[in-house]
Amino acid sequence: MADQHQRAAARRLPGWRAALLGSVAILGVGVAGLELPAWADNANAAPANADIKAPVDNGYADLATAVMPAVVNVQVERTTQAAENGGPDSPFNDPEMRKFFERFFGQVPERGQQQPQQRRMVGEGSGFVISSDGLIVTNYHVAGEADKINVTLKDGTVYKATLKGADKKTDLALIKIDAKKPLPYVAFGDSGKVRPGDKVLAVGNPFGLGGTVTAGIVSAVGGEIEEKPYDDFIQVDAPINRGNSGGPTFDMMGNVIGVNTAIFSPSGGSVGIGFAIASNQAKQIVNQLMEHGTVDRGFLGVSIQPIDPDLAKALKLDDTHGALVSKVEPDSPAAKAGVKSRDVILQFDGKEVEKPSQLSRFVAATQAGKSSELVLWRDGKRETLQVDVGKMPGKETASNEQGGDQPDGSQPKLGLSLAPLTPDTRDQLNLDQKVEGVVVTQVQPDSPADQKGIQPGDIIMSVNQKAVKDPRQVQDAVKKAHEAGDQTVLMLLMRDGQQLFEAVPLAAS
């Protein structure tokens, strides 16, 4: 959905940067004490009268009137530590972040400048009420790391809020206020039914201007802006700006189809490209936060990577769909099920896997202990395995992380100089003694290996499924592939402790 330069400019601020930027998104409706039009009453996830349509041709006023009482302003405070103010890990050392903070805060510390041990930072964003007793959805980067949270309702009443749970991976947080009375609330719709071209309405607090309504259409679905394993965004062109973070985007029936979280903007203002967390993902995460305060994710124990056209040829695939397994963790659910490195996962529990991030989301949303079906591509044919999904260890990632950068390797004909692994080389590269292979010492510019991104220090572990331990074995394997008429050689590499496959073209050698 978003190309690389869009991803680089997409702004999604982590917790302590507190909602200075973001998008708007709301949930459906089911409002206590508020009389709603029949088309907006979606307490049962369906309009009361299917023949009644939202009066969009005459404006959005009825829809806005129905949902706006459930949209709130969220103000936050956080005390930052010295490392955030001016230390080596400070965001002020990032030129892009320095420009951002200078634009909104004025003067910021110079790199290495001595700063006070603590500094109070404030910000604000948006949120929406999802229950009459005061549960509110917002972004993690708005409230997830705040020391103090205040919520202002449409009528101007201010309440202190407590954090009930937060999930940094999906940028969602759940907060609670005690209003001593039933509150108007809204409900999530089905983002799986959202299509590019659908009309949407966004409500929030851009620049602290409460109760702002903007309208537009869905530009794209299923988007990723940072290639993170759980990204699932709806792209909208309804204008959203700083302060809209955590707010809702509605469909024309008053359903919340997304929670706005980021915008693409070279300048910091809206240019018509906003991203909202799909409501189906948000609903699943919020339900867990309501019950446990945290999110448990399913775990396979594999490292996976995308498939490019060269890899597809090497694996004898008709297209680039699927997730290529580059590594299987020992004693993991995948290992116990018989998953192997070089397998391509095509389906999970009956759902098609077109890219690695989809598999990550499918597995993460699966309850630990559930037996799930995997459809694989192995050695030129489809196979089916049963896997008992595990529970992701620790607080942070693991289930199915994308491999990231994809290296590659080969022999001098491919533009590589190789050397055997020596004790000194192992020490320099911090390699485990169990790692076997040959090290890339030089890459010829503009060679096939260079074009595939191979770098000095990469370890070639196997070529065309044959383990290699010295440069001669690599050379022989490449020669054999060339004589057989193969267009590529499939290599398993290690870089920075991560295993990755790469298919290196032979035609140019």
| Whether residues 56 and 89 fall in one domain | yes
CATH of residue 14's domain is 2.40.10.120
**What is the pLDDT, as a whole number, of residue 105?**
45
Among 113-127, 155-169, 253-267, which stretch is predicted with the lowest mean pLDDT?
113-127
The one catalytic residue in 23, 41, 90, 141 is 141
Residue 407 located in a structural domain = no
Separation of alpha carbons 136 and 116, rounded Å: 34
The one catalytic residue in 167, 171, 237, 310 is 171
Annotated catalytic residue 171: yes
Question: Counting Cβ atoms within 10 Å, is residue 294 exposed (0-12), middle (13-18) or buried (19+)?
Answer: exposed
Percentage of the chain beyond pLDDT 70 is: 72
pLDDT tens per residue, range 179-221: 989 999 999 999 989 999 999 998 888 776 667 888 889 988 8
**What is the pLDDT, as a whole number, of residue 383?**
94
Annotated catalytic residue 245: yes
**What is the pLDDT, as a whole number, of residue 394?**
54
**What is the pLDDT, as a whole number, of residue 321?**
93
pLDDT tens per residue, range 325-370: 998 988 899 999 999 999 999 999 999 998 888 898 889 888 888 9
| Whether residues 127 and 268 fall in one domain | yes
**What is the pLDDT, as a whole number, of residue 35?**
33
Alpha helices (runs of H) in 376-470, residue ranges in sequence order? 423-429, 448-451
Q: What is the DSSP string of 261-323?
A: EEEE-SSSS--S-EEEEEHHHHHHHHHHHHHHSS---EE--EEEE---HHHHHHTT-SSS-SE
| Whether residues 249 and 317 fall in one domain | no
| Whether residues 217 and 322 fall in one domain | no
CATH of residue 395's domain is 2.30.42.10
Cα–Cα distance list, 210 to 68, 156, 189, 218, 368 (Å):
10, 10, 24, 23, 42
Separation of alpha carbons 484 and 449, rounded Å: 20
**What pTM was computed for the model?**
0.58
| Boundary of a domain, candidates 270, 293, 316 | 293
Separation of alpha carbons 205 and 208, rounded Å: 5
The one catalytic residue in 126, 245, 265, 462 is 245
pLDDT tens per residue, range 17-68: 222 233 222 222 233 323 333 323 333 333 322 232 445 566 788 898 899 9
Annotated catalytic residue 410: no
**What is the pLDDT, as a whole number, of residue 264?**
66
| Whether residues 289 and 303 fall in one domain | no
Q: How many domains does the chain have?
A: 3
pLDDT tens per residue, range 85-144: 444 445 555 555 555 445 444 455 555 554 455 667 788 899 999 999 999 999 998 998
State the residue range of the domain holding 302: 298-402
